Structure 1
């Protein structure tokens, strides 16, 4: 079942900030921070799972298995990237049912051609709007829990312009999307225009460090009409930099000794994060019977 807290946050007009999660550690850390929502990033999940670009290579099975695992180890509602729905209308239905059954609270579907590409990289092409409308209608009909949200994304801005992107967003909202996601606006003025066009639907802002869209403060995003801001890349960008610093120290020193304070999470802390104290308590309680 979907967590009703996310829909309730939107209904209450509470602005939602969602960090990107991509593996078990990022999911557990983010889950403990008090966010209203977590966002399973396709870019980060594909990178961490396969070590490959987010370019339509990952399958439905790859993604639903990872998403379901994240849902099992967290309490915070999760919206998960599902690319194009992994095929035609029957695939979209299967994907929605699978993501919902996995324990997620929302699914993001986009109108790119297959194979899809990351939204802040070049070369994206979109399918006809009418085809995506059908996908959104199928997705809305397929879900069994009204708290499970359909996020409809259009990548039309980069290739076809802002006017077409807004037109598509409007069509997808009318088809049953709960949240509208206009990918890659290229200025604050464009974001203001998008906000004016969707006063009746929650709008999603994709905040990618170094991406095409300016990153605005939460207060400003709320002022211009957005309801949720996702930060899909923040976690894995920070983690990659931390890996590089730690491994460079090891290479230079031949040891992890002397690693600057704050550069390591600490073994005791990571054990606690991952739930080892519960394992140790279980072992203590059942030690006699286990011999």
Structure 2
């Protein structure tokens, strides 16, 4: 069993983990862990943006997203919560997805009720599957789970195409079939977040803070007090990074050197420390010394 599934369960039982920033690569995931966040989120939309250079419109495949989840899970020691879109097919595909995500080290995932091809939950033009189809997906996920601590989050994207009442009704049905957590995507106001909180009092909840989009940015303390255990900042690191990169590249093109930006850049030494060069070098030296000592006996 993956010990990080139990860790995630413990964080949820304690009312957290609170803010969980999203990563699309191992380097960013390590920065998130280094900053002290108790978990990392692997964003499907962000992965499509960085891995394919495309939008979040269902382009990413199971193997492409799972490969990112696996590498990121291996790179950090904290629990990893992963996006698995609609489960990548019918019930047999959902079962395969759950088994794969468990095997590669994720501590939990969310699966949504959109039709394929899905779209980012904050886009226009989304369509949701019939409630029964999502219930089949969830039952398949629950049946495929082998680690009882592996967290299955039911996400509904019905707020946009069908309205809040439909989204709440769907979320209740998903919770009743056995989903561990409820994720009502893209509420449009603080009042809607409060309504979700009241509807699901005592149920672990997910809130997704997407900057300059549909859902207002609400401070962590307020969301935790409302019962939102997991507060995703799915693409904050991507936005921060791309903003800094764009500015830095403009300076480099204009000035022909990075000299004026050194105080705003991670140093060569900091970079090697983050990726564990010293630790790996020390392990290699120890291994060589042990083998050489054995040969001399």
TM range (shorter): over 0.9
Residue in 1 that maps onto 2:277: 276
Residue in 2 that maps onto 1:180: 182
Q: Distance in 1 between matches of 2:270 and 2:176?
A: 47
Residue in 2 that maps onto 1:266: 267
Larger helix proportion, structure 1 or 2?
2
Q: Distance in 1 between matches of 2:260 and 2:34?
A: 29
Shift of 1:225: 2.6
SS in 2 for 1:17: strand
Q: CA RMSD in A?
A: 1.5
Structure 2 residue 135 is matched with structure 1 residue 133:
yes
Shift of 1:176: 1.2
SS in 2 for 1:227: strand
Mapping for residues 1-291 of structure 1, pairs under 5 Å: 1-2=1-2, 3=4, 4-259=6-261, 261=263, 263-285=264-286, 286=288
Shift of 1:147: 1.0
Contact 1:15 1:222 in 2 (8 A): no
Q: Distance in 1 between matches of 2:16 and 2:9?
A: 10
Shift of 1:192: 0.7
SS in 2 for 1:214: coil
Q: 1:100 to 1:253 in 2, by over 3 A?
A: same
Q: What TM-score do the two structures reach when normalised by structure 1?
A: 0.95
Contact 2:15 2:224 in 1 (8 A): no
SS in 2 for 1:68: helix
Q: Distance in 1 between matches of 2:226 and 2:183?
A: 15
Q: Distance in 2 between matches of 1:179 and 1:154?
A: 11
